[in-house]
Amino acid sequence: MTSAQRVIGDLRELAARTSNAEGAQRLAWGPIWRDARAWFAGKIAELGLEVENDSAGNNWVTLAGASSRTVIVGSHLDSVPNGGWLDGTLGVAAALEAVRLHRASPPPVTIKLVDWADEEGARFGRSLLGSSAASGSLAIDDIRELKDRQGTRLVDALAENGVVVDSMLQAHRELKAVDARAYLELHIEQGPVLESMQKSTGVVQGTFGVERHMLRFSGQAAHSGSTPIPMRRDAFLAAAQTALACREIGLRHSSPGAGVVCTVGVVNVEPKIVTAVPGVCEISLDQRALDPVVLAGMLRDAREASERCAHENRVSVDWHRLWRIEPRPFDPQLLRLCEEAVREETGEAPSLPSGPLHDAAEMVPHMPVVMMFAYSSNGLSHCKEEDTPESHLEATIRAYLRLVDKTVAHVARSS
C-alpha cells in the first residue's frame, strides 16, 4: 500500500465511524468528536507514541528528533454538523502519515503533530478556538458567556472535556516553549478555483484579511399607498443600492491571481410590513482581500458608496464594525518549498489565497507558515457532498509529504 492510499484508508475509516447518512457529525466537545479523537489516539498508540493535551484542549503528538528545532504538522478533527469527510481530517491524516514515515528512524529535527480543538466554532460561534488560545489572541472575556442552541454554556461543555476556560491561554505559554520553525497544514480548498483549473493541488499564499460591518440605514417608515415615490425616505433602497455598489467595488479591486470578495449576507428591514415603506434597513458587509492596501481601499470605497446611496434616498447611514482580522500572508521560504513540492508532483504549482480562515492563520505571527490546498469537487464543503476525486487526493497527499520532507531538511540546515 502506498502512503497516499494509507491516508485515504484512514480517512474512510474515520468517516465510517463518525458520520451518518447526513454527513460527518464530529461537532467539537461532543461525544462523536471525542470518539474521533479516540480513533486518532489509537493510531498514535500503534506508533508507540502518545497524545498529549495542552490547556486549550488541543491534541499534540511529539516525535523527538536529533534537534529540538520543530516542524509542526496538522489540522483539526472537528466538523460542522452534517459536514464532509475531508475538511480538517485530511490535514490530520496526512500529518499522521508524515509521522509514521519518520517513525522508523529519528528525524534530524523534532516533528509535532497537532489536532486543534474546535476549529469550526459550529456550536458556540467562535471559530479557531484552540489555535487562537495557543497563539494568545483569544480574549477569554469574549467567550465566557457563550451558549449553544440548547442553552449549554461553553464553560461547561469545555469542562466536560477537561478544559478550564480561565486556563486556556496557558496553551500559549506551552506553545512558546516549543522551538517551532515551521507550521504546515494541508486542507481541502472548499472553493471552486482548483477545480476550474483542473489542478489537484494549490499553494496557498495566505489567508484573506476580513472587514466585517453592519450598516444601518435610517429613513422614515410611511404608508405605501399614500406616499409618492419622490417623497419617500426608503432605507431599504439605499441599502440595496449600496449592496450593488459593493459588488462593483469587489470586481474593480480584483486582479488576476488576487481576487477579492465582498458579501451582503444579512438584510433586516423595519417595520417589515408589505404596506409600509421601510424606515430602517440593516445590512451586513463582509469584505476580504489578501493585500492590506486593497482591503483598506475596498472599505473606503464602500463607505463612500453607502453615503452616496444614503444621500440619494434622503436617509442616513451608520457603520458598526463586527469583526476584523488583518491579512496573513504565508512565509516566502516555505512558499518556495511548497511550490517545489507541488510542481514535482503535479507539474505545475498554481497559487491561490484562502478565503476561509484556518488554524494556520493563527500561527502566522509566531512562526513561518504555509498551507497546501486539495481540489474540492464542485467547490462544495461543510456538507456531505464534500469530496476530492481519489486521483487528485493521492497527488495532493504525495505533494504534502514531499513538503514535510523538504521542510524538515530545510529546518535541519538552518541554525
Site for Zn ion, rule CB under 5 A: 87-88
Minimal CA–CA distance to 102: which of 411, 404, 334? 404
The alpha-helical segments, DSSP class H, found in 23-87 are 31-46
Identity of the residue, 56 or 239, whose beta carbon is nearer to Zn ion in the bound complex: 56
- 8 A C-beta contact, residue 155 and residue 144: yes
How far apart, in whole angstroms, are the C-alpha atoms of residue 183 and residue 388? 23
Where does 88-244 show beta strands of DSSP type E? 109-116, 180-188, 201-207, 209-218, 222-223
Identity of the residue, 217 or 330, whose beta carbon is nearer to Zn ion in the bound complex: 330
Alpha-carbon distance values, 403 to 203, 340, 391 (Å): 11, 8, 19
- 8 A C-beta contact, residue 262 and residue 250: yes
Identity of the residue, 87 or 387, whose beta carbon is nearer to Zn ion in the bound complex: 87
Identity of the residue, 63 or 94, whose beta carbon is nearer to Zn ion in the bound complex: 94
We find the least distance from the C-beta atom of residue 76 to Zn ion, in angstroms, to be: 6
Identity of the residue, 85 or 217, whose beta carbon is nearer to Zn ion in the bound complex: 85
239: part of which helix (H) or strand (E)? helix 235-253
User: Hunting for cell 506553545 — which residue is that?
Assistant: 175
Identity of the residue, 65 or 88, whose beta carbon is nearer to Zn ion in the bound complex: 88
How far apart, in whole angstroms, are the C-alpha atoms of residue 317 and residue 308? 10
Backbone φ, ψ for residue 281 (5° rounding) = -140, 130
We find the least distance from the C-beta atom of residue 109 to Zn ion, in angstroms, to be: 26
We find the least distance from the C-beta atom of residue 111 to Zn ion, in angstroms, to be: 21
We find the least distance from the C-beta atom of residue 189 to Zn ion, in angstroms, to be: 11
We find the least distance from the C-beta atom of residue 393 to Zn ion, in angstroms, to be: 16
Closest-by-Cβ residue to Zn ion is 88
We find the least distance from the C-beta atom of residue 346 to Zn ion, in angstroms, to be: 22
Q: CA triplet 33, 48, 4: central angle to 5 degrees?
A: 65
We find the least distance from the C-beta atom of residue 383 to Zn ion, in angstroms, to be: 13
Fill in the amino acid letter for 378: N
Identity of the residue, 119 or 211, whose beta carbon is nearer to Zn ion in the bound complex: 119
We find the least distance from the C-beta atom of residue 29 to Zn ion, in angstroms, to be: 16
How far apart, in whole angstroms, are the C-alpha atoms of residue 226 and residue 217? 22
- 8 A C-beta contact, residue 94 and residue 2: no
We find the least distance from the C-beta atom of residue 188 to Zn ion, in angstroms, to be: 8
How far apart, in whole angstroms, are the C-alpha atoms of residue 30 and residue 193? 33
We find the least distance from the C-beta atom of residue 214 to Zn ion, in angstroms, to be: 26
Identity of the residue, 306 or 381, whose beta carbon is nearer to Zn ion in the bound complex: 381
C-alpha dihedral (78, 402, 371, 101), degrees to nearest 10: 30
We find the least distance from the C-beta atom of residue 87 to Zn ion, in angstroms, to be: 4
Identity of the residue, 208 or 236, whose beta carbon is nearer to Zn ion in the bound complex: 208
The C-alpha cell that represents 385 in the structure block? 457532498
Q: Which residues contact 250 (CB under 8 A, 6 or more apart)?
A: 260, 261, 262, 287, 298
Q: Which residues contact 168 (CB under 8 A, 6 or more apart)?
A: 55, 56, 57, 133, 138, 140, 158
Task: Note the residue count of the chain.
Answer: 415
Identity of the residue, 87 or 301, whose beta carbon is nearer to Zn ion in the bound complex: 87
- 8 A C-beta contact, residue 388 and residue 372: no
Identity of the residue, 88 or 219, whose beta carbon is nearer to Zn ion in the bound complex: 88
